[in-house]
Amino acid sequence: MTAGSLVPTRLLWATLVLVILGIAGAFFGSRFSATARAKALPVLGALPDFSLMERSGRNIGRSDLLGRVSVVDFIFTSCSAQCPAVTAQMVKLQEYALPRWPEVRLVSLTVDPERDTPEVLAGYARSFAADPKRWWFLTGARTALDDLIRNGFKVAGASSIPVDTSPDAVLHSVSMVLVDPEARIRGYYQSTDAVEMTKLRQDLAALAQSRKRGSFYGWLPDLNASLNALSFVFLSSGFLLIRRKRVSAHRACMLAACVTSLIFLVSYLTYHSKVGSVRFPGQGWVRPVYFSILISHTVLAVTIVPLALVTLRRAFRKDFAAHRRIARWTFPIWAYVSVTGVVVYAMLYWIYGARA
């Protein structure tokens, strides 16, 4: 083997090492970033002991919040204005947070305990498909609830924002409260403000990740983005090598790109089969930009599979004229899918806080 033929092999190994270091850097970087953000959150108070009843009939107290990251809201089931919107925000948190971090809990406290019995709360929870194990709906004696809401969560029982205009309306806060594993209040977030809801997701992710990484599948988005980036490196290298007539090195790069993309596909399907779809939390002009990139990425990702197979098949059969004709389409589409995969990952998980 000549010294010149060793160059592509060394280049591939060097690239592989860099990608592995990149994955490790993303993993530990996200942990460091989450820990720093969690420590920066202010401690706004500590919850006192309390005893309330969950819709299941189980008694819930302060000790049940210890060791967990909790998001708390305040609703009543007969509310016809803001309460359904507040609960809808909790539904989004259920879809976002619960599959990722087993220690995260959602808690809804009623401000109308006379009417909101456990049975009534159970029906309300079912209407929003609330997870019975990890999204609790609490009621109890009026005095105990009022004291906990006002003096424990430090949220006014009567909000300056009217949440209903019906004769039997109950005025209350539409804020959400973030509680850490030591039952300390770390933030208040206005549920009607999209920017505040994005910040809540980011702070929730920081607390959950700083405590521990979460499920085994939580690191797969880092891996998937790294595999997309590596695929692009192999594709670009293969393109440059074939232009220099280095056929063997070109073949090695393209096969490496295929293997990398195959591993990505397995990892991607594994992640979403366990976690489900991940909602994009960004608002405003960035939403059409994000979804334009995502839709084009998805459509072309489906297209590239048969294109790549046909392109490889023609190369293996040494039908190089036909191989070159289809490769003129395969290469740019494949490269676009690889690059936009990284862009989607960066927008979803890093910039807008949907951190898994």
70: which strand partners? 105, 179
Boundaries of domain holding 194: 45-212
pLDDT at 313: 93
| Amino acid sitting at position 42 | P
pLDDT digits (tens, 9 = 90+) for 256-285: 999 999 999 998 888 888 777 777 767 788
Helix (H) or strand (E) holding 304: helix 286-316
For residue 333, tell me if it sits in a domain.
yes
Strands ordered across the beta sheet of 184-190: 45-46, 184-190, 175-179, 69-75, 104-110, 135-139, 51-54, 59-61
For residues 201 and 103, state if they share a domain: yes
pLDDT digits (tens, 9 = 90+) for 146-183: 999 999 998 864 333 333 444 444 445 789 999 999 99
104: which strand partners? 69
Would you say residue 19 has pLDDT above 70?
A: no
Q: Residue 110: what are its φ and ψ, rounded to 5°?
A: -80, 145
For residue 356, tell me if it sits in a domain.
no
Would you say residue 10 has pLDDT above 80?
A: no
CATH number assigned to the domain comprising residue 163: 3.40.30.10
Query: How many beta carbons lie within 10 A of that of residue 306, not counting itself?
Result: 10
Q: Of the candidates 194, 212, 230, which is a domain's last residue? A: 212
Query: How many beta carbons lie within 10 A of that of residue 164, not counting itself?
Result: 17
Would you say residue 356 has pLDDT above 80?
A: no
When pLDDT is cut at 50, 70 and 90, the band that residue 314 belongs to is very high
pLDDT at 38: 83
pLDDT digits (tens, 9 = 90+) for 20-59: 566 556 555 555 566 678 888 999 999 999 999 999 999 9
For residues 152 and 175, state if they share a domain: yes
For residue 40, tell me if it sits in a domain.
no
For residues 81 and 307, give the distance between their C-alpha atoms in angstroms, rounded to a whole number: 52
pLDDT at 212: 52
SS3 (DSSP) at 136:
strand
pLDDT digits (tens, 9 = 90+) for 249-264: 899 989 999 999 999 9
- Residue found under tokens 């997701």: 201
For residue 39, tell me if it sits in a domain.
no
Region for 304 from its dihedrals, namely left if φ exceeds 0, alpha if ψ lies in -120 to 50, beta otherwise: alpha
Burial class from Cβ neighbours inside 10 Å (0-12, 13-18, 19+) for residue 317 reads exposed
- Smallest CA-to-CA distance from 236 within 216, 211, 256, 217 is with 256
Lowest mean pLDDT among 48-52, 72-76, 82-86: 82-86
Quote the pTM value: 0.56
For residues 179 and 186, give the distance between their C-alpha atoms in angstroms, rounded to a whole number: 6
Lowest mean pLDDT among 33-37, 110-114, 304-308: 33-37
pLDDT at 33: 63
pLDDT at 169: 41
**CA Rg, the chain, in Å?**
26
For residue 329, tell me if it sits in a domain.
yes
Strands 69-75 and 104-110, bridge-based pairing: parallel
For residues 223 and 330, state if they share a domain: yes
For residues 237 and 187, state if they share a domain: no
For residues 142 and 183, give the distance between their C-alpha atoms in angstroms, rounded to a whole number: 22
For residues 87 and 207, state if they share a domain: yes
Mean of pLDDT values over 342-347: 88
Please report, for residues 258, 262, 350, the alpha-carbon distance to residue 282 in angstroms, rounded to integers and kept in the order given.
33, 30, 12
Cβ distance 136 to 60 under 8 Å?
yes
pLDDT at 24: 57
Q: Tell me what percent of the residues of the chain surpass a pLDDT of 70.
A: 81
The chain-wide mean pLDDT, for the chain, equals 83
Would you say residue 121 has pLDDT above 60?
A: yes
For residues 154 and 228, state if they share a domain: no
For residues 86 and 204, state if they share a domain: yes
For residues 54 and 185, state if they share a domain: yes
Cβ distance 181 to 68 under 8 Å?
yes
pLDDT digits (tens, 9 = 90+) for 227-245: 898 899 899 989 988 998 9
Which carries the bigger pLDDT value, residue 323 or residue 99?
323
Query: How many beta carbons lie within 10 A of that of residue 344, not counting itself?
Result: 21
- Smallest CA-to-CA distance from 174 within 72, 247, 259, 78 is with 72
Would you say residue 352 has pLDDT above 80?
A: no
Cβ distance 126 to 56 under 8 Å?
no
Lowest mean pLDDT among 30-39, 85-94, 203-212, 253-262: 30-39
Would you say residue 91 has pLDDT above 60?
A: yes
pLDDT at 18: 66
Cβ distance 54 to 137 under 8 Å?
yes
